[in-house]
Chains A and B, each alone.
Chain A
Amino acid sequence: MTPSPPSLRVSELAYAYPDGTQALFGVDLTIGSGERVALLGPNGAGKTTLVMHLNGILTAGHGLVEVAGLPVRKDTLKEIRRRVGLVFQDPDDQLFMPTVREDVAFGPANLGMRGPELERRVRDALEQVGLPEVIDRPPHHLSFGQRRRVAVATVLAMRPEILVLDEPSSNLDPASRRELAEVLRSLDVTVLMVTHDLPYAMELCERSLILSGGVIAADGPTREILADPALLAAHRLELPYGFAVAERPH
């Protein structure tokens, strides 16, 4: 057992939208420090709703969310938002400042960082995603793949405990997809990847969860989950045409 608390612990989380639509019906999951986990689920399974709870944008109707032992509550929001780095699906939503430098600096500056320390944070984060040269460019002049990686840098600059990515591979061309995978693999941080890109989950995550109908329907090694066509089919998931998971690794 590791002495440190798990990066993320969600227990009995339930949530209904103000219009009465129940999205989550009691979600339980634990992600250990340093794990890379895929959260799989069809459209409308409640994935985005769950993600919104992880950094307190939505607050639990019932249940508990803890990030490295700290419960998500009104008075802990500031620290929670430092610990949970949320990368949104559309990088144009995530990159809102006039230049990459200002955008990556936005998070740490909100934490009160200034001067050379801030500059170092920004450079380190861009270094981690392999794009130190775009620092002075406006985001809309970058390629889509570059923007996605800069979006990752904007949250890495806050030194998060856990990185939460919403559909990280969507709209990426094959090369950008591979480059992002290399970046994610090189990071020394807990990762929760929300996706229905099953090969990408297979490539990056040892473990997968299936969220379906507002509950965790399966939790296990990605290889086993993807090798179970009946389980996948029951939750509107399927491997792309021509793909199959080998029975034993390598």
Chain B
Amino acid sequence: MGAGHHHQLYRPGVTLVHRLPPECKLPAVAAFAVVVVATPREVFWAFGVYVLLLAAVAAVARVPAAFVLRRMVIEVPFVLFAVALPIIGLGARFEVLGLSLSAEGLWAAWNILAKATLGVVASILLAATTEPRMMLLGAQRLRLPQLLVQIAMFMLRYMDVILDEMRRMRVARESRGFAARDVRHLPVLAKSAGALFIRSYERGERVHLAMLSRGYTGSMPVVHEGGASVASWATAALLPAAALATAALSWSLS
């Protein structure tokens, strides 16, 4: 059985951050991201404070910097986009090492990079300290639409099953001498993808039957009632509150 790739985001632990209920952590991270985005891009020191805040969370959660850095690779496509901005940007231009850069583009690139990076790091910390299924439980307790939570739940459960099926199909292809080398092989891969889709669809139907057989009527029974303590909420609120104070200061100074 293949171990799921999606578990690699989670880093087991028993720290304060790990133990906070998911329904407190999710909104805390979202609020932090909103505050970061609302901070004027010219106020460099505020972003420095945000970095320190996240570093503090990471320290409490005992998440090493290398762990976070490795997972930041996901941001690369956005970085590429941001790098292009100073070159194609409009407005006043100046020369650096023979390269003509746009001042406005440079600001835009900094704005995107800084804010996106902070958001990504905050999400990585959330994922590192919250098991995927707890994340869904949090979403459920926050009254996110049932249907979306259920879809995400099934995705989490069946990702390994489907990846496994995909692996078996690849092995079956290769056992009969097929290896995808160039475009001409695409039709074969496309047919495999189609077959995988149909198999998954049929599995979905069988799962639905199994659910009906055990009394499913359209909504998941909520077994663990919410009920995060005020202290948990207060602890989780520390991060966005500190960020908000920083942002408020930056607004009043700018």
Q: Are A141 and B221 in contact (CB under 8 A)?
A: no
Instruction: Provide the residues of chain A in CB contact with B104, threshold 8 Å.
Output: none
B188 within 8 Å of A (CB atoms): no
A106 within 8 Å of B (CB atoms): yes
With CB as the reference atom, state the residue of chain B lying closest to A144: B1
Instruction: Provide the residues of chain A in CB contact with B210, threshold 8 Å.
Output: 86, 88, 93-94, 96
Q: Are A111 and B157 in contact (CB under 8 A)?
A: no
Given the complex of chains A and B, what is the CA–CA distance between A52 and B160 in angstroms?
28
**B-contact bits for A92-132, CB 8 A (1 contact / 0 none):** 11101111001001110111001000100000000000000
Q: Are A78 and B215 in contact (CB under 8 A)?
A: yes
Given the complex of chains A and B, what is the CA–CA distance between A158 and B154 in angstroms?
22
Q: Are B214 and A107 in contact (CB under 8 A)?
A: yes
A125-168 CB contacts (< 8 Å) to partner B: 138-141, 154-155, 158
A82 within 8 Å of B (CB atoms): yes
B206 within 8 Å of A (CB atoms): yes
A55-104 CB contacts (< 8 Å) to partner B: 55, 57, 78, 81-82, 84, 86, 88, 90, 92-94, 96-99, 102
Instruction: Provide the residues of chain A in CB contact with B161, threshold 8 Å.
Output: 92, 140
Given the complex of chains A and B, what is the CA–CA distance between A57 and B214 in angstroms?
11
Number of A-B contacts (CB under 8 A): 76
Interface size (B, Cβ < 8 Å)? Answer: 26
A149-207 CB contacts (< 8 Å) to partner B: 154-155, 158
B153 within 8 Å of A (CB atoms): yes
With CB as the reference atom, state the residue of chain B lying closest to A104: B214
Instruction: Provide the residues of chain B in CB contact with A78, threshold 8 Å.
Output: 215
Given the complex of chains A and B, what is the CA–CA distance between A82 and B212 in angstroms?
11
B4 within 8 Å of A (CB atoms): yes
- Given contacts A102-B223, A140-B157, whether A110 and B217 have CB atoms under 8 Å apart is yes
Given the complex of chains A and B, what is the CA–CA distance between A82 and B214 in angstroms?
7
Q: Are B1 and A114 in contact (CB under 8 A)?
A: no
Given the complex of chains A and B, what is the CA–CA distance between A78 and B217 in angstroms?
9
Given the complex of chains A and B, what is the CA–CA distance between A78 and B214 in angstroms?
9
Instruction: Provide the residues of chain A in CB contact with B133, threshold 8 Å.
Output: 98-99, 138
> By CB atoms of chain B within 10 A, which of A90, A138, A158 has the most?
A138
One of A82, A92, A139, A140 near B4 (C-beta < 8 A): A140
> By CB atoms of chain A within 10 A, which of B4, B158, B210, B221 has the most?
B210
- Given contacts A98-B157, A109-B221, A118-B223, whether A93 and B215 have CB atoms under 8 Å apart is no
Q: Are B1 and A140 in contact (CB under 8 A)?
A: yes
Instruction: Provide the residues of chain B in CB contact with A92, threshold 8 Å.
Output: 158, 161, 203
Q: Are B1 and A81 in contact (CB under 8 A)?
A: no
Q: Are B156 and A110 in contact (CB under 8 A)?
A: no
Given the complex of chains A and B, what is the CA–CA distance between A78 and B213 in angstroms?
9
Instruction: Provide the residues of chain A in CB contact with B1, threshold 8 Å.
Output: 140-141
With CB as the reference atom, state the residue of chain B lying closest to A109: B221
Q: Are B206 and A106 in contact (CB under 8 A)?
A: no
Q: Are A105 and B223 in contact (CB under 8 A)?
A: yes
Given the complex of chains A and B, what is the CA–CA distance between A84 and B215 in angstroms?
11
B209 within 8 Å of A (CB atoms): yes
**14 A–B contacts from the bound complex (CB under 8 Å):** A81-B213, A86-B213, A93-B209, A93-B210, A96-B210, A106-B216, A107-B215, A109-B223, A118-B223, A138-B157, A140-B157, A140-B161, A141-B1, A154-B214
